[in-house]
Structure 1
Amino acid sequence: MAWFDVHATFKHNQLRLAHITDSHLFADPQGEYFSVNTAEHFSRALAHMAAQSLDAVIFGGDLTQDHSIESYSLFAQLIADSALTCQVFWLPGNHDDIAAMKHISSGQISNAKRLIAQGFEVLLINSKGPTPAGWVSEVHLNEITELLANTVSPSVVFCHHNPLPINGYLDKHMLENGPQLLNILQNSGQVRHVFHGHVHNDYQFQFRNIEVVATPASSVQFTKNSHHWQQQNLGASYRLLTITKSSDDVIVDSELVWLNE
């Protein structure tokens, strides 16, 4: 099955989304990542998102830290136990096992990678490579190119890895063919916004006509502009997005939410 074969349809020309990423869960709900209880942070974010009248949640990858099957089950259980009622869509991070993520994709958690609204689309891209660094395969690049060539609707794109350097430690694990992906998106004439996770902080860059924006983690943040790996517990975070169809494009309003302890 091709990556974009499963899709979800929305019957309005505006979507209110939450982008949450890098939960780094453990099998143990009390597990800690750099002294942060990641399940607690994720639950707090889910509770806050439940009050935002969302159409959908995009989970941006790195669900697990210990790579256990139980951590995927915990992710599903935390969502089921929350007051969140909208569907949750996902894309894989470098820590994730795609088969395990598909295994928990039923009911509220959806395997769809293409969200089709009235007048625009949201595309979830697979940037998981053979190493912690990102890589979009040639097959997937061709899928993306073909999809964008065959739709007249503008698209907003999500992936896990940063496609541009952030001047920090994680640049050694960035999306290695990020500029190639961004050029494909730019040349399509359909994409003006790319959102990603992976870097555990808030960044914003411009690539030609594309705005490239990083969403901080729900778990722990990594100090910005540091070539040494430094962690900060700034509380759980996620990004609220309102995507609205305009005359010939989409308007994307973005707001960061910080749930400081």
Structure 2
Amino acid sequence: MKIYQLSDCHLQVSEAEPKLNLIRALTLIEARGDGDVLLLTGDLVCGPCVEIYTQFKAIVQAHTSIVRIFAIAGNHDDLAMMKSVFSGSRIQVKNHVHLNHGLSLCFVDSSPKPLANMPLGAGRVSRKSLSSLKQFTRKHQSIVVIHHPVVNLGAKWFTRIGIENNLDVIEAIHPQTLAILSGHAHAFFKQPIKTHGQIIPLIVSPATAYGFEHSNPDYEKNANIGIMVYDILIDIGSVSSSLPAKKYLLNESVLNLCRNE
């Protein structure tokens, strides 16, 4: 199974480059011809309005034939508006979905504003969502998909705009979880997350709009943009008569896109 992830597209009515980058990314995925699932992991637009979500929907549906497309909200998004505009299209907004009999996707909404006074861009996961995350990942081996990384990483300024209650999120994730996929950082990261004595990889996607220079302690954009690709493989070594449920391996890679091509 092949999963593609696009994140932080930041589509705008008044700016052409994010749109061109999104089309370039989708065209590259379509040319490869092997996509089973497409994940859109938040900050789809820069300023939410019906017009820009409608444009986003039209671009996605025109430039990819992938049937299973799932979107989550980021801090720049309006979840209710996304659900309304995407209704009836191939872009689905769900709490979870079963990919097959042994592996599921669990979507977590981190777009609500923090309760404390945190900088613009920070998020929070509601108690209802935490409860759903805890229950679902215990019943099903899952890939957790969330916009904000569940730990603070990257540049100092960026660590201040994470998930307010991120430790509660980590605690809610069952250790059988295959991986945690996120965006928000506008750069690729892979970091081990320890929960309940087990290690789960956190994989953070680059953006399609523009990159962040995390080596700089101050806010700075760069031209490093890209796409995440995940190959989901059956772990043959874990399949036995005593383990009827299939176990999986996830291998990730980054497709880099050059803004200046």
Query: Structure 2-normalised TM-score?
Result: 0.85
The corresponding residue for 2:215 is 225
The corresponding residue for 2:190 is 204
The corresponding residue for 2:73 is 92
The corresponding residue for 1:130 is 113
Which amino acid in 2 is paired with 1:198? Answer: H
State the shift of 1:17 in Å.
Answer: 0.7
Among the aligned pairs, what percent are the same residue? 20
Partner SS for 2:160: helix
Partner SS for 2:144: strand
State the shift of 1:244 in Å.
Answer: 2.5
Alpha-carbon distance in structure 2 between the residues aligned to 1:183 and 1:210? 12
The corresponding residue for 1:24 is 10
Query: Structure 1-normalised TM-score?
Result: 0.85
- Kept after mapping to 2: 8 A contact 1:19/1:215: yes
For structure 2, the residue ranges without an aligned partner over 5 or more in a row are 115-120, 240-245
The corresponding residue for 1:12 is none
State the shift of 1:225 in Å.
Answer: 3.0
Which of 241, 248, 251 matches 1:250?
A: 248
Q: Does 1:173 align with 2:161?
A: yes
Q: Does 1:162 align with 2:144?
A: no
- Kept after mapping to 1: 8 A contact 2:208/2:226: yes
Instruction: Report how many residues are paired.
Output: 236
Where do 1:44-193 residues align within 5 Å?
Answer: 44-52=24-32, 53-105=34-86, 106-116=88-98, 117-131=100-114, 132-149=121-138, 151=139, 153-168=140-155, 169-185=157-173, 188-193=174-179
Higher relative contact order (CA 8 A, sep 6+): 1
For structure 1, the residue ranges without an aligned partner over 5 or more in a row are 1-14
Query: Bigger CA drift: 120-129 or 242-251?
Result: 242-251
State the shift of 1:179 in Å.
Answer: 2.2
State the shift of 1:182 in Å.
Answer: 1.3
Alpha-carbon distance in structure 1 between the residues aligned to 2:18 and 2:205? 16
The root-mean-square deviation of aligned C-alpha atoms, in Å, is 1.6
Alpha-carbon distance in structure 1 between the residues aligned to 2:71 and 2:168? 23
Partner SS for 1:50: helix
Partner SS for 1:77: helix
